[in-house]
Amino acid sequence: MITRLSHLFLRTLRDDPADAEVPSHKLLVRAGYVRRIAPGVYSWLPLGLRTLRKVEDVVRAEMNAIGAQEISLPALLPREPYESTNRWTEYGDALFRLKDRKGQDYLLGPTHEELFALTVKGEYNSYKDLPVTLYQIQTKYRDEGRPRAGILRGREFVMKDSYSFDLDEDGLKKSYNAHREAYQKIFDRLGVKYVIVAATSGAMGGSASEEFLADSPVGEDTYVICRESGYAANVEAVVTAAPPEIPIEGQADAVAHDTPNTPTIATLVEWANGAGVLGREVTAADTLKNVMVKLRHPDGKTEILGVGIPGDREVDDKRLGASVEPAEVELLDEADFKANPFLVKGYIGPKALQANGIRYLVDPRVVTGSAWITGADEPGKHYVGLVAGRDFTPDGTIEAAEVRDGDPSPDGRGVLEAARGIEIGHIFQLGQKYTDAFEVDVLGENGKPVRLTMGSYGVGVSRMVAVLAEQMHDEKGLRWPREVAPFDVHVVIANKDEGARAGAEQVAAELDAMGLEVLLDDRTASPGVKFKDAELLGMPYVVVVGRGWADGKIELRDRFAGTAEELPAETAVADVVAKIRG
């Protein structure tokens, strides 16, 4: 069926919406793909919905190909399952909560681990039933603190979420790898440029979780990439390459110096250079900065922790947070300093921390034998030559220091560079967190119950529409790869002349008969307006039937290549079909 622009429910806009900052948001609104209803809540108009459905189709096909089975759970959910896993509380303000007429608590599902675990528990009871992977393509709700960039970060959005259930670790790894490969196929088919990054430092065992990040300067996720080796990781997951240990023997004794008015690294370095304490130029990297944080553990107990990092680096809050999880990081307040008088602001050193039983973790660069200029725990005093492993012994290392461009890659094969991306997928070996919460067991081969192990995997389906728009647009408008374009070809009638009109109708009908999805611009608008709209709407191919028709010619424009070629009318349809089908 040919879709006629004269009938299509579409109004393109000349101006960018006032609230739009990123190109995909501006263009999707201007081209009439989506319309805003509330912050982070959007309607899909015909063109947008066609693209969304096509993204869904690709995702669905690849999920089916790994044997995952599609089901559909409600978005409106009772509180109890989320209470059992504590997520009713943990989700905090991000959860949309509501009450029914009887006063019962409900929520709008942000993700469905609980319900899938319960669904499997409800149906299956024997090891013979396993493994199983279930998925849905469904609307999710999260009351995001900063809904942003239109459908890129919505409060209502479409996600494909799947959940694997296995009898053992090995099975979970297989399910995880199947998803990893399926995701690569999905994103390759969609033509999106992306990297796979380790999401956690591996403390939980290898690649327990990975994220798929689409390259984009407007992305909110920062990651690092090593161009030489291809290593990529979330900033939180970067493992610092530690330098080799240094022999302690023969190193000079530590000396405490009077260093009046040197509470900052800059003032300390200035003093050290003025005093010539190292017999060479001192930099901030020669100093050891001791940052105090308060950890709140899940049981509610608090702990004061000392973090030692080279003075030329800042603490990266996200890395620190990921390293101490599940504890939460808080700042020390005046009361904490009062209660711990050995913490001398600006002059905190490892010695007082250790003498007072404060846990002290250091950056991996603080290796045994490394010598530091650091606080001597008295106002206006610092040590020079305080040697790790001799004068103080840290309780361990911590990944809390910022990662910088030019840092060595953890794989030893180049340097790191910071990059930005948009999370389009996430795969996660959950293990037994949810199956424990709901006691999801089946009868094992030996007659004993087996607790299932679970994975969860998400793709941002509606977000993908924005990501593709973001990566593929140009200054004229949207550009869609054929896989997701609302239509394969956009036929423009670029002349009032009856012959050209009839010719365009004929070309459109023949393209349609060849199985292509055809959008026909049969409006009475001027050719200039029509061409501008064609560029804005972004179908991959535009066929222009205009002045040349009388001479037996049509024009084929390739939206991606930006090229135009004249084709003889007799063979035009066959040529266009051949070109589009590649």
Q: Provide the pairing of β-strand 371-375 with 381-387.
A: antiparallel
What is the number of helices (H) and of strands (E) in the chain? 15, 30
Tokens 């991306």 correspond to 421
Which of residues 426 and 473 has its CB atom nearest to Mg ion in the complex? Answer: 426
Q: Could you tell me which residues come within 8 angstroms of residue 89 by beta carbon, excluding any fewer than 6 positions away? A: none
Least distance to ligand ATP, CB of residue 76, Å: 18
Q: Does 426 bind Mg ion (CB under 5 A)?
A: yes
User: What SS3 state is found at 83?
Assistant: helix
Least distance to ligand ATP, CB of residue 27, Å: 17
Taking the C-alpha atoms of residue 242 and residue 366, their distance in angstroms, rounded to an integer, is 8
Q: Which of 394, 458, 540, 548 binds ligand ATP (CB under 6 A)?
A: 458
Q: For residue 413, what are its two tokens?
A: 């094969």
Taking the C-alpha atoms of residue 522 and residue 95, their distance in angstroms, rounded to an integer, is 47
Which of residues 141 and 372 has its CB atom nearest to ligand ATP in the complex? Answer: 141
Which of residues 410 and 458 has its CB atom nearest to ligand ATP in the complex? Answer: 458
Least distance to Mg ion, CB of residue 211, Å: 6
Which of residues 3 and 216 has its CB atom nearest to ligand ATP in the complex? Answer: 216
Which of residues 425 and 503 has its CB atom nearest to ligand ATP in the complex? Answer: 425
Which of residues 26 and 463 has its CB atom nearest to ligand ATP in the complex? Answer: 463
Q: Which of 32, 81, 410, 460 binds ligand ATP (CB under 6 A)?
A: 460
What are the helix (H) ranges across 303-398? 317-324, 334-339, 350-355
Q: For residue 93, what are its two tokens?
A: 């303000």
Q: Quote the DSSP letter at residue 26.
A: H
Binding segment toward ligand ATP, per CB under 6 A, in 81-89, 375-383, 439-447, 456-464:
456-464
Least distance to ligand ATP, CB of residue 486, Å: 20
Residue 144 CA neighbour count, 13 Å, CB half: 18
Least distance to Mg ion, CB of residue 314, Å: 25
Q: Which helix (H) or strand (E) holds 189?
A: helix 169-190
- Footprint (CB under 6 A) of ligand ATP, residues 71-130: 111
| Residue 358 binds which entry of Mg ion, ligand ATP, none, CB below 5-8 Å type-dependent | none
Least distance to Mg ion, CB of residue 430, Å: 12
* Burial group, residue 483, by CB count within 10 angstroms (0-12, 13-18, 19+): middle
Structural contact between residues 259 and 382, judged by C-beta atoms closer than 8 angstroms = yes
| Residue 157 binds which entry of Mg ion, ligand ATP, none, CB below 5-8 Å type-dependent | ligand ATP
Which of residues 154 and 350 has its CB atom nearest to ligand ATP in the complex? Answer: 154
Q: Could you tell me which residues come within 8 angstroms of residue 208 by beta carbon, excluding any fewer than 6 positions away? A: 200, 202, 428, 429
Residue 512 CA neighbour count, 13 Å, CB half: 15
| Residue 424 binds which entry of ligand ATP, Mg ion, none, CB below 5-8 Å type-dependent | ligand ATP
Least distance to Mg ion, CB of residue 196, Å: 13
What is the largest distance, in Å, between two alpha-carbon atoms of the chain? 97
Least distance to Mg ion, CB of residue 376, Å: 44
- Footprint (CB under 6 A) of ligand ATP, residues 400-439: 423-426
Closest-by-Cβ residue to Mg ion is 426
User: What SS3 state is found at 415?
Assistant: strand
Site residue total, ligand ATP (CB under 6 A): 15
Least distance to ligand ATP, CB of residue 176, Å: 14
Residues lying near ligand ATP in the complex (CB under 6 A) are found at: 111, 142, 144, 153-154, 157, 159, 423-426, 458, 460, 462-463
Residues lying near Mg ion in the complex (CB under 5 A) are found at: 426
